[in-house]
Amino acid sequence: MARVFWTVIAIALVFSNWVDGFGGYYEHQLNETELSLLEAHEASLSYAGSNLLLVGLTLVQNAAAKGAVCLDGTLPGYHLHRGYGSGSNRWLINLEGGGWCNNIRTCVYRKKTRRGSSDFMEKEIPFTGILSNKAEENPDFFNWNRIKLRYCDGASFAGDSEDETAELQFRGQRIWAAAMEDLMSKGMRFADQALLSGCSAGGLATIIHCDEFRGLFPMTTRVKCLSDAGLFLDAIDVSGGRTLRNLYGGVVGLQGAQKNLPQICTNHLDPISCFFPQNLIASVKTPLFILNAAYDSWQIQSSLAPPSADPHGYWHDCRLNHAKCTAPQIQYLQGFRNHMLNVIKDFARANQNGLFINSCFSHCQTERQDTWFADNSPVIKNKGIAVAVGDWYFDRAGVKVIDCPYPCDNTCHHLIFR
The residues annotated with a catalytic role in the active site are 200, 296, 363
SS3 category, 32: helix
> Which H helix or E strand runs over 195?
strand 193-199
Contact 227, 389 (CB under 8 A): no
User: CA–CA separation, 261 vs 248, rounded Å?
Assistant: 13
What are the C-alpha distances in Å from 18 to residues 103, 136, 137, 415? Answer: 28, 24, 21, 13
C-alpha to C-alpha distance for 101 and 151, rounded to whole angstroms = 12
Q: Could you say which DSSP state residue 215 is in?
A: T
Distance, CA of 258 to CA of 160 (rounded, Å): 9
d(CA 414, CA 378): 10
Nearest residue to 47 via CA among 5, 89, 84: 5
Q: Would you say 340 and 275 are in contact if contact means Cβ atoms under 8 Å apart?
A: no
What is each CA distance from 338 to 312, 333, 396, in whole angstroms? Answer: 27, 9, 29
CB 231 within 8 A of CB 252: no
How many whole angstroms separate alpha carbon 238 and alpha carbon 245?
A: 14
Neighbouring residues of 10: CB distance < 8 A, sequence distance ≥ 6: 17, 18, 19, 20, 27, 28, 29, 30, 418
